[in-house]
Amino acid sequence: MTQTEQLAARKAPAHDDLTASLCKQLSIALAKFPRLPLGHFPTPLEPMDRLSEVLGGPRLWVKRDDCTGLSTGGNKTRKLEFLMADAVEKGADTIITQGATQSNHARQTTAAAAKLNMECHILLEDRTGSNDPNYILNGNVLLDRLHGATVSKRGSGEDMNAEMESLAADLQRKGKKTYIIPGGGSNTTGALGYVNCARELVEQATNIGLKIDALVHATGSSGTQAGLVTGLAAIQSDIHLLGIGVRAPQEKQEGMVFDLATKTADILDPVVNISRQDVRANCDYVGPGYGLPTDGMIAAIKLLAQTEGLLFDPVYSGKGLDGLIDQIKKGYFDGMDNVVFLHTGGSAALFGYSETFGLPGYE
Catalytic residue list: 103
> Rounded to the nearest 10 degrees, how much is the dihedral formed by the CA atoms of 29, 183, 88, 31?
-10
Q: Annotate 106-157 with three-state secondary structure.
A: HHHHHHHHHHCCCEEEEEEECCCCCCCHHHHHCCHHHHHHHCCCEEEEECCC
Alpha-carbon dihedral sign for residues 143, 146, 148, 152: positive
Selection from 77, 71, 348, 61 nearest residue 224 by Cα: 77
What is the rounded distance in angstroms from the CA atom of residue 134 to the CA atom of residue 342? 27
- Quick check: 199 and 231 in contact, CB under 8 A? yes
What is the rounded distance in angstroms from the CA atom of residue 91 to the CA atom of residue 254? 35
Q: Which residues in the chain belong to E strands, given as ranges?
A: 45-47, 59-64, 94-100, 119-125, 150-154, 178-181, 214-219, 240-245, 281-282, 338-343
Selection from 199, 197, 196, 207 nearest residue 16 by Cα: 207
The three-class DSSP label of residue 31 is coil
- Quick check: 308 and 44 in contact, CB under 8 A? no
Q: Under the phi-then-psi rule, with left for phi > 0, alpha for psi from -120 to 50, and beta for the rest, what region is 272?
A: beta
The three-class DSSP label of residue 342 is strand
Q: Residue 40: CB partners within 8 Å, gap ≥ 6?
A: 67, 68, 69
Write phi, then psi, for 164 (nearest 5 degrees).
-65, -40
